[in-house]
């Protein structure tokens, strides 16, 4: 289980913090549900506990998803994806996610947590927002809380559709899902259009049987072709001379409580020197090469950015990984 913790916790004593965290952890953690409920994101905002964070962004109807992507072993990658489905109910979307984890539970690494992002584009004079988090249940909760998210962000004229994406890293492939949630509730409930589920695989040949069985099980039309995919790209970053301001951290329990990621105010916001991907967001999620114990305050540095295009057709969808250390 992973939590995103607001920096306000630092003002409490170490012992009190550990006791509080242990109590919450034991209360919430369920061994039987670890795959279905892998992560909880937690922020202290007016006393609320939230499963996702809000990020101001310049993105308009596209997704730059903070993810745990990696370099492929082979020179060529391949992908295949379902035909797009329209007017998908919340129940069917939930079934697709849960069936994926059931089919591939032996391939999901609890260390490499699936992430999601929802983007809403507003009037040109208003701020655009993305909501980011980890895990399928938090994703479903964020989708259900569409109106709550809008009230919290004080959105006045949201677009009639959001864009949403989900990406899970497995040992030898990625699973992605992307779609457009409706904001008008034409069917008296939230529905999802242009829903597409796909897999990006490392190398060829591979056994497609388990993927075909998955598509049949969830009622999506399986693809009848395989296409050559996209490579990851890497850019060297330097934070020398920049002030990194951590405003949160991602922690998990494995014997001790470890910090694996930090959330920072983006020092590259509005600056396209390195990459447009990281210039568009006011916050960045940084993966630490070396983890440290939860309350070990330290100086951080950035070292590289890894990006990968995801082959979804209706809006721009890219996976990004900002790497750093201490």
What pLDDT digit, counting tens, does each position of 96-108 carry?
A: 999 998 888 765 5
Instruction: List, for residues 306-323, the tens digit of each pLDDT value.
Output: 998 899 988 889 999 999
In this structure, is residue 220 part of a structural domain?
yes
Helix H, strand E, coil C: the string for the chain is: CEEEEEHHHHHCCHHHHHHHHHHHHHHHCCHHHCCCCCCCCCCCECCECCCCEEEEECCCCCEEEECCCCCCCCCCEEEEECCCECCECHHHHHHHHHHHHHHCCCCECCCCCCEEEEEECCCCCCCEEEEEEECHHHHHHHHHCHHHHHHHHCCCCCCCECEEEEEEEECCEEEEEEEEEECCCCCCCCCEEEEEEEEEEECCCCCCHHHHHHHHHHCCCCCCCCEECCCCEEEECCCCCCCCCEEEEEEEEECEEEEEEEEEECCCCCCCCCCHHHHCECEEEEEEEEEEECCCCCCCEEEEEEEEECCCCCCCEEEEEEEEEC
Residue 323: inside a domain: no
Does a structural domain hold residue 271? no
More confident residue, 161 or 28: 161
Given a cut of 70, is residue 269 above it in pLDDT? yes
Tell whether 72 is covered by a domain: yes
In a domain, 16, yes or no: no
Q: What pTM did the predictor assign?
A: 0.83
Count of structural domains within the chain: 1
pLDDT digits 0-9 by tens, 137-164: 889 999 999 888 888 888 877 778 899 9
Position 91 in a domain: yes
Between 326 and 4, name the one with better pLDDT.
Answer: 326
Per-residue pLDDT, 75: 65
The residue with greater pLDDT, 177 or 158, is 177
**Domain of 83, in residue numbers:** 63-228
Per-residue pLDDT tens digits for 31-75: 333 323 333 344 444 444 457 888 988 877 788 999 988 766 666
Q: pLDDT exceeding 90 applies to what percent of the chain? A: 30
Residue 45 in domain: no
Q: Is residue 17 part of a domain?
A: no
């Amino acid at each position: 289980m992973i939590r995103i913790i607001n920096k306000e916790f630092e003002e409490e004593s170490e012992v009190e913090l550990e006791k509080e965290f242990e109590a919450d952890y034991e209360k919430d953690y369920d061994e039987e549900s670890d795959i279905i409920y892998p992560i909880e994101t937690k922020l202290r905002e007016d006393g609320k506990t939230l499963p996702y964070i809000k990020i101001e962004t310049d993105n308009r109807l596209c997704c730059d998803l903070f993810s745990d992507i990696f370099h492929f072993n082979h020179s060529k990658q391949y992908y295949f994806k379902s035909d797009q489905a329209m007017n998908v109910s919340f129940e069917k979307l939930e079934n697709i996610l849960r069936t994926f984890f059931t089919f591939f539970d032996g391939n999901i690494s609890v260390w490499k947590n699936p992430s999601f992002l929802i983007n809403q584009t507003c009037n040109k004079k208003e701020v655009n927002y993305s909501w980011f988090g980890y895990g399928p249940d938090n994703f479903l909760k964020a989708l259900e809380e569409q109106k709550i998210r809008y009230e919290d962000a004080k959105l006045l004229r949201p677009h009639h559709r959001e864009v949403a994406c989900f990406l899970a890293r497995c040992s030898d492939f990625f699973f992605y899902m992307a779609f457009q949630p409706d904001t008008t509730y034409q069917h008296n409930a939230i529905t999802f259009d242009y829903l597409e589920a796909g897999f990006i695989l490392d190398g060829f040949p591979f056994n497609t049987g388990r993927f075909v069985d998955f598509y049949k099980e969830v009622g999506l039309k399986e693809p009848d072709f395989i296409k050559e995919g996209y490579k990851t790209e890497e850019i060297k970053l330097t934070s020398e001379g920049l002030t990194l301001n951590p405003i949160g951290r991602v922690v998990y329990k494995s014997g001790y409580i470890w910090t694996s990621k930090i959330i920072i105010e983006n020092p590259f916001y509005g600056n396209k020197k390195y990459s447009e991907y990281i210039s568009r967001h006011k916050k960045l999620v940084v993966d630490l090469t070396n983890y440290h114990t939860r309350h070990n305050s330290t100086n951080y540095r950035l070292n590289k950015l890894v990006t990968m295009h995801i082959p979804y057709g209706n809006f721009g969808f890219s996976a990004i990984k900002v790497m750093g250390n201490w």
